[in-house]
Homo-oligomer: A and B are copies of this chain.
């Protein structure tokens, strides 16, 4: 049958402007800080000035009598108000730890909190709380922390014995991975490289600081307005901390001003807003300032990683072994991702050992592709070094070792794509200029997701979801819904619910937002379409198979004058026994395929000052299906800028006593527009079987390779092989001096 209906461009694949753009650029979007509830109080924290100290005494009496103060909390005052946590290892139970009680373990740790009628009074009251400390030596460096004579941070800690019989202190977790026999591999190799790489902790540097407002009804029902990447995870964590049913907690996700992994779970401010609201009997708002962000948020882990690699003359790597010490601060994990040095390479022998090391620093959290940039920096930097040493092209070295293409992915093609775009083979460089390359890999996860699609009487389609939009996911999801249901994009409204009302949604993290919820929306929209076709079939007296939906109309194929609008179908449905058209779809657990981002950068180094300029940055990514190329390009650009910034400037600097030395954007430099060249992006579309329209998660791969690409470019430019991030002018200059005349 001839298709006589003019077919529009597909909606999936369009460079659709973000549906939230206008609200955001005009200031209409409502952030949590914009909200003010009647009777609302303001919270402030008492924080430890010491990184490690015993608390001898806390006296809140003066703070409590300050006019305007409505609640003063310490851990002692929480008895019975928070969950009993069972410590199975030690056979003990203890209250959920909201505040330091007997010991502080990092500078900025919360010791108490105050709610008062103004923020100023709350801060004044905090100053009136008297705390007596006995300062203890701080543990700052992971390699110091693991030594047998290191100060013990966690009092119940017992030393850990490694795979090779060493005794380590302050390690809470070890993960060993052995594939093949690395010693045999090393024996068969022509060359052995062994290097140690150091990368510091970094802050996610989102624009909007952590913020929450909590209100508690007389029946105990908790409402939290917050900036979160996932309302359901926040609900779960609040309920768990307070020992209440999740049904007693409603989390309302406000517009979020960035998160990058750090706004998951509500542990930084949400729970405290609730505790204060419970104590004060009034709503409480907490807004972090930037200093608080730097001393007590959830930055990325630092890593010290030693990699030993055995390689044949022809570039084939026969064995790799890595030992990684992860600087998790007071809590977090990295050890389980030490084996990410495997990446997308076909290493016949691999051995990794990861250790999560406790230091007197704040808890580590997730930062976009958590642990990915750190491992890729070490792993890919060493590949650059090997290529340089062996005189093999660094792209060629990677191609030699890469896994072959599958039906769902093609790493080599992805890497070649950016090489071709750059004209790698014909690349040129001036004095002190160099080219670097690196790849980074990620496989998006999937998490439980539901969505509701409802066709309204005016023919518009409502998508109801609990997903937070941190990356343009609302727009991609609207495109999926529009494409699947046959409506135009302008007819789709994406509505976000709270946890009381919304279908279950995952955190917007792990590159799984669009993957999981997109699939759920696609299924819901498909059910809408199915019902539309059934009803239209009656209205048009044609079999559903002969119908198609396009441009908000249902058409009989081959008879363009026989059509009904979706509005008419919706109204007809509303009058029918089945009622209005409103359908759900659910998704989880169908895996995606691994994908890589490949990045090439060109730098220029000033050999006198050590300053590094980025002169070119390009990137290719296999995105599966580009649901919205503009949105994916934004993800690619943002991720690459973040990784190059981490490579060149970003680091959380701690003094030997554990004090944070650069708690603000004046001293913590993130990449600005002036620092970054125009960015080139190349999309490959190799669909994954289970993604919506074949899409893969695209948020995380782009942040992984950038640091090593810069390292490779500096190596190419001035012949120095840097092992420690960031590549500050001091370090570059020092390395050039140590290198001697080039």
Q: Is A449's CB under 8 angstroms from B584's CB?
A: no
A448 interface contact, C-beta 8 A: yes
Please, which residues of chain B bring their CB within 8 A of the CB of A38? Answer: 36
Cα A718 to Cα B118 with chains together (Å): 72
A500 interface contact, C-beta 8 A: yes
Chain A residues 478 to 523 lying within 8 A of chain B, measured CB to CB, are 493, 495, 497, 500-504, 516, 520
Please, which residues of chain B bring their CB within 8 A of the CB of A504? Answer: 454, 574, 579-580, 582
A143 interface contact, C-beta 8 A: no
Given contacts A464-B501, A501-B464, contact A586 B590 (CB under 8 A): no
Pick from B460, B503, B573, B580: contact of A454, CB under 8 Å: B503
A344 to chain B, nearest CB (A): 26
A528 to chain B, nearest CB (A): 10
A371 to chain B, nearest CB (A): 24
- Minimal Cβ-Cβ distance residue in B for A451: B582
Q: Is A578's CB under 8 angstroms from B587's CB?
A: yes
A245 interface contact, C-beta 8 A: yes
- Minimal Cβ-Cβ distance residue in B for A250: B495
Please, which residues of chain B bring their CB within 8 A of the CB of A573? Answer: 586
Interface size of A in residues (CB-CB distance below 8 Å): 51
Please, which residues of chain B bring their CB within 8 A of the CB of A219? Answer: 22-23, 26, 28
Cα A554 to Cα B577 with chains together (Å): 30
A458 interface contact, C-beta 8 A: yes
Chain A residues 564 to 613 lying within 8 A of chain B, measured CB to CB, are 573-590
30 contacts between A and B (CB under 8 A): A22-B219, A26-B218, A28-B217, A246-B457, A247-B456, A247-B458, A247-B460, A247-B493, A448-B574, A448-B575, A448-B580, A449-B579, A450-B580, A452-B452, A452-B582, A462-B500, A493-B500, A495-B500, A503-B580, A504-B574, A504-B579, A504-B580, A520-B579, A575-B588, A575-B589, A576-B588, A576-B589, A577-B589, A578-B587, A579-B585
- Minimal Cβ-Cβ distance residue in B for A245: B458
Please, which residues of chain B bring their CB within 8 A of the CB of A516? Answer: 579
Cα A28 to Cα B448 with chains together (Å): 34
Please, which residues of chain B bring their CB within 8 A of the CB of A590? Answer: 577
Name 14 extra pairs, CB < 8 A, besides A245-B460, A449-B580, A450-B454: A22-B219, A26-B219, A245-B458, A448-B580, A452-B503, A501-B501, A501-B502, A504-B580, A504-B582, A574-B588, A576-B589, A577-B587, A578-B586, A583-B584
Cα A261 to Cα B581 with chains together (Å): 27
- Minimal Cβ-Cβ distance residue in B for A516: B579
Q: Is B586's CB under 8 angstroms from A582's CB?
A: yes
Copies held by the complex: 2
Q: Is B586's CB under 8 angstroms from A579's CB?
A: yes
Q: Is B577's CB under 8 angstroms from A588's CB?
A: yes
Chain A residues 24 to 49 lying within 8 A of chain B, measured CB to CB, are 26, 28, 36, 38
Chain A residues 230 to 248 lying within 8 A of chain B, measured CB to CB, are 245-247
Please, which residues of chain B bring their CB within 8 A of the CB of A503? Answer: 452, 454, 580, 582
Chain A residues 269 to 317 lying within 8 A of chain B, measured CB to CB, are none
Most-contacted residue by chain B among A454, A500, A574, A584 (CB, 10 A): A584
A119 to chain B, nearest CB (A): 17
Please, which residues of chain B bring their CB within 8 A of the CB of A218? Answer: 26, 28
Given contacts A218-B28, A219-B28, contact A458 B578 (CB under 8 A): no
- Minimal Cβ-Cβ distance residue in B for A246: B458
Please, which residues of chain B bring their CB within 8 A of the CB of A495? Answer: 500-501
Q: Is B582's CB under 8 angstroms from A584's CB?
A: yes
Chain A residues 304 to 363 lying within 8 A of chain B, measured CB to CB, are none
- Minimal Cβ-Cβ distance residue in B for A576: B589
Please, which residues of chain B bring their CB within 8 A of the CB of A582? Answer: 450, 452, 503-504, 584, 586
Cα A449 to Cα B587 with chains together (Å): 26
Please, which residues of chain B bring their CB within 8 A of the CB of A450? Answer: 454, 579-580, 582
